[in-house]
Amino acid sequence: MAAEREATGWDRVRGSVRFRITALATLIVVVVLVVTGIALVLLQRRALTSAIDDSLLQRADDLEAVLRAGELPERLGLGADETFVQVVAADGSILATSENVAGIELNLRLPEGAEVLSSADVPQVDDDPFRLLTRRIPVPGGTTTLLVGGTLDDVKDSAAALARALMVAIPLAAALLAGIVWWLVGRALSPVEAIRREVAAISGGELHRRVPEPATADEIGRLAATMNRMLDRIEESTRRQQRFVADASHELRNPLTRIKSEVEVDLAHPERADLAATHRSVAEEVEGLGRMLEDLLYLARSDAGDLDRSATSVDVSELLEQEVARLGDARVPVTVSAAPVTTVGGRADQLARAIRNLLDNAVRHASAGVASSVAVADGAVRLVVEDDGPGIPAPDRERVFERFARVDEARSAATGGTGLGLAIVRDIVERHGGRVFVDPRHTDGTRFVVELPVSGDIPG
Ligand code: ADP
């Protein structure tokens, strides 16, 4: 955060994707243009040099013809590209020469070979290097050497002119490209900045706000849509948490208020106090509070993903029999009909807790008896707990699984329910990849059905 705040001005521009893309694109283009420019200059130089070579060769052919005809004049004229011409006899004497090198023995380190084109320095004529054609012609009594020199000035000038033009054109093209890329990337990224601003502005109290979704279905459009779905989930879960905390505080306050008023009444009127009754009532309330805290703790751990997720093979029939046995002498008889082996993958302690909650509810609400059973059908273990009590009205059959949901407030308070039992059942069953529901076809009392996949791991 601090780094984000401190990074201002130039630092922020330099760190931006827009800047980096622009810089990279410009750098690549500059490198390509410079390499192309250098290649262009070299190619141009080569083409011009080879044109000069052609004219030197032509001149040598002409000279050779004149030589062989024995018509070689002493003074030779110069063609367009030529700088000097000399014909040297085998003994080194100059047979013919252009005026500018008359009497000068060109002190060239002549290359070997019958005919060679090379670059050479001829300081007697000019400081700049020349293109030199050396041709050796065998004649009776030795070898006559033809030397034709051509200036490279034009080649140099043209290359320099091209290089100068490129040195202006390349930076201009790079600057133009940088400007275009900067503008295009800025345009493409502007929705991202709008999304960032909106997300930065969404505080805890403004969870209803959403980021602007561009009309396009590109990556940024999808990012915005995904972010809004995430905000939906955050809003939903935050609201659920807030409701849960509010409900929990409310639920914890009620028994505390009752305890406080009972104790205060006894203190105010000690002569009329029935201490034994107060103790009993306080003990019951404290026990209820303990149960509720334990349930709240379970749900809080579950919400935080802190529950043990390791899975073992669990026999649901065995669990049901154990839990029914634990009830002992319940207020109504509880029957069990369990298939021999009904194995699911999961946590035995959590599944036992779910079964216990269902049995406790059934016993609490039954008039004459509770029936429980486990069977395997269609790859699922089906556990049924049913009672012949007042039943759950159709509109409440889903609601009873919500936290702190009670069908009848007065009745639940009297029976000491926390309103969390069925929420915990659903949480556990769904963690095990199963489902739990109130059977709508059963109208004579209440029938809870739990279906669990026969085996497998607890889904994440
Ligand atoms: P509680 O601990 O208050 O019973 P539960 O989450 O276990 O909380 O149940 C939610 C509500 O569903 C209960 O208040 C009760 O009204 C209703 N309920 C649960 N089981 C039964 C049942 N077997 N018969 C009738 N009503 C039931």
Would you state the pLDDT for residue 305? Answer: 85
Average of per-residue pLDDT across 20-44:
96
Residues of the chain above pLDDT 90, percent: 58
Least confident of 70-74, 119-123, 295-299: 119-123
- Report d(CA 139, CA 68) in Å as an integer: 9
Among protein residues, the one whose CA lies closest to atom 19 of ligand 1: 361
Tokens, residue 341: 């082996």
CA distances to 424, 435, 447, 453 from 356, in Å: 11, 16, 15, 20
Would you state the pLDDT for residue 458? Answer: 46
- Report d(CA 226, CA 234) in Å as an integer: 12
Any atom of ligand 1 within 6 Å of the Cβ of 214: no
Residue 354: other Cβ atoms inside 10 A: 27
Would you state the pLDDT for residue 412? Answer: 56
Which atom belonging to ligand 1 lies closest to the Cα atom of 424? 6
Residues of the chain above pLDDT 70, percent: 95
Would you state the pLDDT for residue 122? Answer: 78
For residue 330, what are the contacts with CB-CB under 8 A and spacing of at least 6? 363, 370
- Report d(CA 85, CA 79) in Å as an integer: 10
Q: How far is the CA of 357 from the centre of ligand 1 (A)?
A: 9
Is the pTM here over 0.85, yes or no? no
The larger pLDDT score, comparing residue 342 to residue 317, is at 317
**In the predicted model, what is the mean pLDDT of the chain?**
89
Q: How far is the CA of 460 from the centre of ligand 1 (A)?
A: 28
Residue 173: other Cβ atoms inside 10 A: 15
- Report d(CA 117, CA 46) in Å as an integer: 13
Judge whether 150 and 82 are in contact, CB under 8 Å: yes
Q: What is the pLDDT of residues 323-381, one digit of tens each?
A: 999 998 888 999 999 888 788 999 999 999 999 999 999 999 999 999 999 999 888 99
The larger pLDDT score, comparing residue 415 to residue 453, is at 453
Q: What share of the chain is helix, strand, coil (3-state, %, to 5)?
A: 55, 20, 25
Would you state the pLDDT for residue 456? Answer: 47
Any atom of ligand 1 within 6 Å of the Cβ of 392: yes
Q: How far is the CA of 421 from the centre of ligand 1 (A)?
A: 7
Sort 441 into a burial class: Cβ within 10 Å, 0-12 / 13-18 / 19+. Answer: exposed
Q: Which residue has the tokens 């999961």?
A: 346
Would you state the pLDDT for residue 253? Answer: 92
Any atom of ligand 1 within 6 Å of the Cβ of 145: no
Give the closest residue to 425 by CA, choosing from 365, 352, 369.
Answer: 352
Any atom of ligand 1 within 6 Å of the Cβ of 408: yes
Q: What is the pLDDT of residues 416-439, one digit of tens each?
A: 678 899 999 999 999 999 999 999
Q: Which helix (H) or strand (E) element contains residue 207?
A: none
Contacts 24+ apart (CB under 8 A), 410-418: 415/364, 416/284, 416/287, 416/288, 416/291, 417/361, 417/364, 418/251, 418/288, 418/291, 418/292, 418/295
Q: What are phi and psi of 132, to 5 degrees?
A: -125, 130
- Report d(CA 355, CA 350) in Å as an integer: 9
Any atom of ligand 1 within 6 Å of the Cβ of 285: no
Among protein residues, the one whose CA lies closest to atom 8 of ligand 1: 419
Residue 24: other Cβ atoms inside 10 A: 11
DSSP string, 93-105: -EEEEEGGGTT--
Q: How far is the CA of 417 from the centre of ligand 1 (A)?
A: 8
Judge whether 252 and 289 are in contact, CB under 8 Å: yes
Any atom of ligand 1 within 6 Å of the Cβ of 421: yes
Give the closest residue to 52 by CA, choosing from 117, 110, 106, 97.
Answer: 117
Any atom of ligand 1 within 6 Å of the Cβ of 419: yes
CA distances to 5, 28, 135, 178, 287 from 186, in Å: 22, 19, 66, 12, 64
Which atom belonging to ligand 1 lies closest to the Cα atom of 420? 6
pLDDT of 3 > 50? The answer is: no
Dihedral of the alpha carbons of 206, 210, 211, 215, in degrees to the nearest 10: -160
DSSP string, 349-415: HHHHHHHHHHHHHHHHH-SS-EEEEEEEETTEEEEEEEE-SS---GGGTTGGGSTT--S-HHHHHHH
Q: What is the pLDDT of residues 131-172, one digit of tens each?
A: 999 999 998 888 999 999 998 888 999 999 999 999 999 999
Average of per-residue pLDDT across 274-300:
92
CA distances to 236, 324, 400, 452, 455 from 433, in Å: 23, 24, 20, 7, 10
pLDDT of 440 > 50? The answer is: yes
Ligand 1 pocket: which of 353, 387, 422, 447 to mutate (most atoms within 8 A of CB): 422
Would you state the pLDDT for residue 6? Answer: 56
Any atom of ligand 1 within 6 Å of the Cβ of 131: no
Least confident of 86-95, 100-109, 286-295, 369-378: 100-109
In 3-state terms, what secondary structure has residue 142?
A: strand
For residue 229, what are the contacts with CB-CB under 8 A and spacing of at least 6? none
pLDDT of 216 > 60? The answer is: yes
What's the pLDDT band for 79 if we cut at 50, 70, 90? confident
Give first-to-last CA distance, the chain, whole Å: 33
Average of per-residue pLDDT across 83-102:
89
What's the pLDDT band for 410 if we cut at 50, 70, 90? low
Give the closest residue to 100 by CA, choosing from 116, 88, 82, 117.
Answer: 82
Quickly list H helices, 273-347: 275-304, 316-327
